[in-house]
Amino acid sequence: MALFPNVESDYTFGGRTHTNLVVSEGAAPAEKWIVSKTEGVKFTYAFGPEGNQNVVLAKGKIVELGDPEFDYETSRMVTTIKQAAPGSMRAVGVNHHNIYERKRDRFSGNQPVVLTRSYIEVPLFEHDVEATAAQFARAMHYGAAYGTNANKIKPGDFVKVGQDGNFVKLDTANDSPFQIVGQVLAVERELPPAGFLQYYMDMKVEEIEAFLKAKSYAPSPGSNGKDAGAYPYGYPYQHQGWKGEFEKLLNPTVNKGIPFLTDGYFRAKQVVTNIALDDIYDAQTNNDGHIESVVFSGQITFGHDDAGTFTPSANNAVDKGFQTAAESRNNALFIKLRHQIDKTEADPVVVKLDGVAVAAADLHIDYVNNTVVVYLEPGITVNELTIDAKLIVDPVAGIPTEWDYSGAVGAVRILLQR
């Protein structure tokens, strides 16, 4: 029987084998972490699984590692993970999904996953003041990028940890290269993005029209042998044959996209203050007011018309004040606002008479007709009625859900480099 050289029949040297080297690939390291006890609940995610809705670490946030803490589930000391501090040089990547609050002796919480070298997209917030842009990004809850209008984030820029675990532009002159979390490869500021929704919405936006014309290369020389040539009068989708079917899905009130999905609802949320009775919208005179119309009941006399009739228009300006007759007890103003009242907010409307807020019992919001109803006592004189309202001002159709936030100007795509 042949023998292999240098092979003996028994193991005589002692020692042991060593096979454990590669744990996982590095794009999302297969490591067990627990969220640090220093991280409190950031917000409640209503769509989270039962018992797991309190978010302690949000999706898309830049994270860093902390000291080990005792894990009561495994009775071991485990490395912690937490939201990265501004300018951190210890950031390890981006949190892949929402991490929920863990509770003792409960089926709650979940395991963090950190992305270190993925190509990700986050919404972009910009403002003249960086602190304001950071506030918009924070209000959105999830991972985001922010910056200023004067120093915009551009493709090729490196980004670091900013406020609230969000991305901000690296100052290459003063910041350390160890602060780099990733590099921006693309920036989208075109809202709404040209394409599918513009076709179905039949939007007449000059910028979109110019964009589509610039992209047009019809007529095409291609032909299937049965027609005179491909697209001799433009692209087939320009005929918009399905537009009517698509519009059945749209909000019948504002007709600007699928409600809460593509209508730019959250991006268009604004708090408008000091809306007075003379703030009437009139397209003929370009008066871009917030009130569409006003109707009243009872005996109310307005400054512009002693007869007590209310005919609001820019040409017949209404005084901000009014009087109610002493003998009339059924006085009410029905103020129909031009922009949609925000149904997602508590107490979205505050009405003041000469600076004093109207009691809740004398105020009603008719969401169906987008109308504020104010009940008035008899025999009072009001110099000015003002309204502070949370409104949806000019929502834009075709906003992707992940971009639909107040203050968002688009999105950035970042190649992580940790």
With 0-12 / 13-18 / 19 or more C-beta atoms within 10 angstroms meaning exposed / middle / buried, residue 416 is buried
Residues 6+ apart with CB under 8 A from 353: 380, 382, 384, 385
The strand pairing partners of 352, in sequence order, are 357, 386
Reference 314, options 278, 348, 338; nearest CA is 278
pLDDT of residue 349: 97
Tell me whether residue 28 is in a domain.
Answer: no
Q: Please tell me the number of Cα atoms within 13 Å of 263 on its side-chain side.
A: 19
User: What single DSSP character describes residue 210?
Assistant: H
For residue 26, tell me if it sits in a domain. no
Taking alpha carbons only, the member of 305, 331, 306, 308 closest to residue 318 is: 305
Place of tokens 């014309």: 213
What is the pLDDT at residue 220?
47
Please tell me the distance from the alpha carbon of residue 370 to that of residue 211, in angstroms, as a whole number.
35
Please give the Cα distance from 354 to 376 (Å, whole number).
13
Is residue 320 assigned to a domain? yes
- Kindly state whether residue 69 falls inside one of the protein's structural domains: yes
Cα separation, 120 vs 243, in Å, equals 33
List the alpha helices (DSSP H) in 33-129: none
Q: In this structure, what DSSP letter does residue 122 have? A: E
Task: For residue 94, give the 3-state DSSP assignment.
Answer: strand
| 342 is a domain residue | yes
Question: CA 95, CA 122: separation in Å to the nearest integer?
Answer: 12
Digit-by-digit pLDDT tens for the chain (418 residues) are 566 666 665 655 667 778 889 999 999 999 999 999 999 999 999 888 888 899 999 999 999 999 999 998 899 999 999 999 999 999 999 999 999 999 887 778 899 999 999 999 999 999 999 999 999 999 999 999 999 999 999 999 999 999 999 999 999 999 999 999 999 999 999 877 765 555 555 555 565 566 556 555 444 444 444 444 444 445 544 444 445 555 555 544 545 677 788 888 898 899 999 999 888 877 666 667 899 888 888 888 876 554 444 554 444 455 678 889 899 888 899 999 999 999 888 899 999 999 999 999 999 999 988 999 999 999 999 989 999 999 998 888 778 889 999 999 999 999 999 9
Show the domain range for 276. Answer: 269-392
pLDDT at 316: 44
Tell me whether residue 208 is in a domain. no
In a domain, 174, yes or no: no
For residues 403 and 397, what is the distance between their CA atoms, to the nearest angstrom? 12
Question: Residue 39's pLDDT is what?
Answer: 96
Whether 46 is covered by a domain: the verdict is yes
165, 62 Cβ separation under 8 angstroms: yes
If one counts the domains in the chain, the total is: 2
Question: What is the reported pLDDT for 243?
Answer: 52
pTM flag (> 0.85): no
Q: Which strands sit side by side in the sheet containing 371-376, from one edge to the other?
A: 291-297, 331-337, 371-376, 363-366
